[in-house]
Amino acid sequence: MQVIADPSGFRAAATSAGKPLVLVPTMGALHEGHRALIRKARELAGPGGTVAVSIFVNPIQFDRANDLAAYPKPLEADLVACEAEGADLVFTPEAGAMYHPDRSVTVTESLLSRNLCGATRPGHFDGVCTVVLKLFLLSGADSAVFGEKDFQQLAVIRRMVRDLDVLVEIIGHPTIREDDGLAMSSRNVRLLPEHRADAPRIRRSLIAARDLLGGGERPSAALLAAARAGIEDSPFARIDYLELVDAENLQPVERVERPAVLATAVFYGEVRLIDHITLRP
Amino acid sequence: MQVIADPSGFRAAATSAGKPLVLVPTMGALHEGHRALIRKARELAGPGGTVAVSIFVNPIQFDRANDLAAYPKPLEADLVACEAEGADLVFTPEAGAMYHPDRSVTVTESLLSRNLCGATRPGHFDGVCTVVLKLFLLSGADSAVFGEKDFQQLAVIRRMVRDLDVLVEIIGHPTIREDDGLAMSSRNVRLLPEHRADAPRIRRSLIAARDLLGGGERPSAALLAAARAGIEDSPFARIDYLELVDAENLQPVERVERPAVLATAVFYGEVRLIDHITLRP
């Protein structure tokens, strides 16, 4: 396994590596969810292909300086995980090598990124699009694997690939969860013990809304109220957003008549967790 | 020579074509200036390589609907010119095939595009960056040739390539001029005869300023005044902008101490012409 920090060195290694090249873009702090993405990439690349993992805490997608500063960076453990899951190339650039001091070009998305995480994190998805496009173009990836946990991110990236004619196949991988249902996240390790114990209510509350729909309740207001009650019953949880949107264009819906997504972001102290559930009428 | 309107057909043809592939992005209405770009591309591609010309009047870079509607589209003559100059592939997409009705992703440039043409044409360079990136990614071009006449466009595209890690070499080609010094442009054919006769004063006025600098006059105000007087002496010309900027970052300068560019856009009736001259201290 080669570990490369220099962008042009990474490009050179990726260009001469066996094809197909499957990329797994991450911000490090790899947990079982990421490991599942790398395993999926290994399966897709096959024995002759190449699995490239990028580990880069992308500063331009953080809207809060304290969130960026607090983001864990356990590089040594990450490299052990990459190696164990069969990665061939790991790209670990410094921010200064990815972004020129006078950089002035950004990829912007103006529809799917408007609400949900985009509403409360201005510029976040533009930062995501910009870095992901750079990673696609540096690696020349044939395909790239992303977790479905970040479902809005996945939708925005698919849209970018479509609208800019990027020649890469985007593969979504189901959310990996702890035994108690909490979606795996690099931020989970920052939760206080009492917050960690409380956090599975997020998933339970989304399931409660889905069960209500299963019982025939289609108006969004009722489904949102059920999920909200479940989360707000906590002494710790503070809802950042809770929205019910169309599964395709991510715009809010009044009733569930087509596939929709109930999505939430919840603060426990300074730690912000996201989760979602797909609702089918 | 293959003429292809379908983006995926163009991608397939470009992918299987001989390398290197040299792209010449145009909006059609090809004149001697474009033909010089295609000849340059032919020279760069060599006998085994491929010259691809795109002909696409990109709607999202027009800020004025009448300018878009009036843009000439002499496709048959353009194809004759492409064939005569040795093009192998010509890409002639419809706007509807390049842009989805709900497209939401744009490439934006926020520094070099702020003044000059950018100040009076909001969104213009974002439209240019977006379409040029799409053309790079569809064609997989190894290099691309652009006219230096659109020097701000060339600077913005170079910046995009740098900031987004696009794997393409950008080649600038000197401005081609009519015998009387007027820069060749697809818009020249729309000039009234008396405007066409008057328009060479643009170039003469820029040269007058350069001569003044040659005589030791370095303050921008004096150089701008000289050029302005030369243009405004016309009964027809109306200055859109006249600016003296640093050659590298395109920001206005007070004095010419490093290479700078004196650039102007001038309206004759509804027709807007641009030209510039490089000033070296």
Look up residue A217 and give its two tokens. 């309740």
Q: The complex's ipTM?
A: 0.94
How far does B119 lie from chain A, in Å, by closest CA? 16
Q: Provide the pLDDT for residue A97.
A: 98
Q: Which residue has the tokens 């794997």?
A: B167
Contact check, Cβ <8 Å, A165/B7: yes
Nearest-CB residue to B137 (from A99, A129, A165): A165
Share of chain A above pLDDT 70, in %: 100
Nearest-CB residue to A162 (from B100, B162, B165): B100
Contact check, Cβ <8 Å, A137/B162: no
Instruction: Name every chain B residue with its beta carbon within 8 A of the beta carbon of A102.
Output: 111, 249
Long-range contacts of A260-264 (CB under 8 A, 24+ apart): A260/A220, A261/A151, A262/A206, A262/A209, A262/A210, A262/A223, A262/A224, A262/A227, A263/A116, A263/A151, A263/A152, A264/A202, A264/A205, A264/A206, A264/A227, A264/A231, A264/A239, A264/A240
How far does A87 lie from chain B, in Å, by closest CA? 23
Contact check, Cβ <8 Å, B138/A249: no
Helices (H), A6-116: 7-16, 32-45, 65-70, 75-84, 95-98
Residues of A acting as catalytic residues: 34
Model confidence band, residue B72 (pLDDT cutoffs 50, 70, 90): confident
Model confidence band, residue B188 (pLDDT cutoffs 50, 70, 90): very high
The one-letter code for the residue type at A12 is A
Average pLDDT over every residue of A218-226: 97
The reply, when asked if residue B184 is annotated as ligand binding, is: yes
CB contacts under 8 A, B 240-279 vs A, are: 249
Average pLDDT over every residue of A254-263: 97
Any B CB within 8 A of A32 CB = no
Contact check, Cβ <8 Å, B164/A103: no
Q: Provide the pLDDT for residue A72.
A: 87
The reply, when asked if residue A98 is annotated as ligand binding, is: no
Spatial distance between the Cα atoms of A244 and B2, rounded to a whole number of angstroms? 49
B163-191 b/e with 16+ CB inside 10 Å = b?
bbbbebebbbbebbbbeeebbbbbbbebb
| Closest chain A residue to B107, measured at CA | A107
Contact check, Cβ <8 Å, A105/B107: yes
Average pLDDT over every residue of B197-224: 97
Average pLDDT over every residue of B204-215: 98
Q: Provide the pLDDT for residue B100.
A: 97
How far does A267 lie from chain B, in Å, by closest CA? 29
How far does A256 lie from chain B, in Å, by closest CA? 22
Classify the C-alpha dihedral B203-B206-B212-B215 as positive or negative. negative
Instruction: Name every chain B residue with its beta carbon within 8 A of the beta carbon of A251.
Output: none
Contact A160, A146 (CB under 8 A): no
Q: What angle do CA B159, A127, A166 make, to 5 degrees?
A: 65
Spatial distance between the Cα atoms of B137 and B15, rounded to a whole number of angstroms? 11
Directed axis angle between helix A151-164 and helix A124-139, to 10°? 60
Model confidence band, residue B67 (pLDDT cutoffs 50, 70, 90): confident
Any B CB within 8 A of A163 CB = yes
Which residues have C-beta within 8 Å of that of residue B75, sequence separation ≥ 6? B28, B55, B92
Contact B242, B227 (CB under 8 A): yes
| Closest chain B residue to A166, measured at CA | B137
* Count of positions (residues) in chain A: 281
Contact check, Cβ <8 Å, B110/A106: yes
Integer angstrom CA distances of residue B60 from B98, B124, B131: 11, 7, 8
Checking if the pLDDT of A71 tops 90, the result is no
> How many cross-chain Cβ pairs, A to B, lie less than 8 Å apart?
82
Checking if the pLDDT of B71 tops 90, the result is no
Spatial distance between the Cα atoms of B97 and B169, rounded to a whole number of angstroms? 26
Q: Is B90 exposed, middle or buried (0-12, 13-18, 19+ CB in 10 A)?
A: buried
Q: Provide the pLDDT for residue A122.
A: 87
Phi, psi of A203 (to 5 degrees): -60, -45
Any B CB within 8 A of A16 CB = no
Q: Provide the pLDDT for residue B116.
A: 94
Model confidence band, residue A70 (pLDDT cutoffs 50, 70, 90): confident
Closest CA to A121 of A265, A248, A224, A253: A265
Share of chain B above pLDDT 70, in %: 100
Q: Are strands A143-147 and A21-26 parallel, antiparallel or unpaired?
A: parallel
Mean pLDDT of chain B: 96
Closest CA to B95 of B114, B117, B73: B73
Instruction: Name every chain A residue with its beta carbon within 8 A of the beta carbon of B163.
Output: 99-100, 103-105
Chain B interface test: which of A102, A105, A158 (most B C-beta within 10 Å): A105
Checking if the pLDDT of B63 tops 90, the result is no
Instruction: Report helix, strand or coil for A103.
Output: coil
Contact check, Cβ <8 Å, B137/A162: no
Look up residue B211 and give its two tokens. 């001569």
Any A CB within 8 A of B166 CB = yes
Instruction: Report helix, strand or coil for A62.
Output: coil
Checking if the pLDDT of B62 tops 90, the result is yes
Any B CB within 8 A of A224 CB = no
Checking if the pLDDT of A66 tops 90, the result is no
Q: Quick one: three-class SS letters along A24-50?
A: EEECCCCCHHHHHHHHHHHHHHCCCCE
Nearest-CB residue to A164 (from B111, B133, B140): B133
pLDDT tens digits, A1-51: 999 999 999 999 999 999 999 999 999 999 999 999 999 999 999 999 999
Contact check, Cβ <8 Å, A107/B109: no
* Count of positions (residues) in chain B: 281
State the DSSP code for B143. E
Contact check, Cβ <8 Å, B109/A105: yes
Helix (H) or strand (E) holding A254: none
pLDDT tens digits, B101-113: 999 999 999 999 9
For residue B34, indicate whether it is catalytic.
yes
Q: What angle do CA A71, A104, A155 make, to 5 degrees?
A: 55
Instruction: Name every chain A residue with its beta carbon within 8 A of the beta carbon of B9.
Output: none
Checking if the pLDDT of B56 tops 90, the result is yes
Model confidence band, residue B66 (pLDDT cutoffs 50, 70, 90): confident
Instruction: Name every chain B residue with its beta carbon within 8 A of the beta carbon of A159.
Output: 104-105
Contact check, Cβ <8 Å, B165/A104: no
| Closest chain B residue to A164, measured at CA | B134
| Ordered domains of chain A (ranges, CATH) | 2-173 (3.40.50.620), 188-276 (3.30.1300.10)
Spatial distance between the Cα atoms of B271 and B190, rounded to a whole number of angstroms? 7
pLDDT tens digits, B113-143: 999 999 988 899 999 999 999 999 999 999 9
Closest CA to A261 of A227, A234, A230: A227
Nearest-CB residue to A109 (from B104, B133, B165): B104
Checking if the pLDDT of A129 tops 90, the result is yes
Any A CB within 8 A of B138 CB = yes
Closest CA to B183 of B31, B28, B26, B27: B31
For B51: left if phi > 0, alpha if psi spans -120 to 50, otherwise beta; the answer is beta
| Closest chain B residue to A248, measured at CA | B102
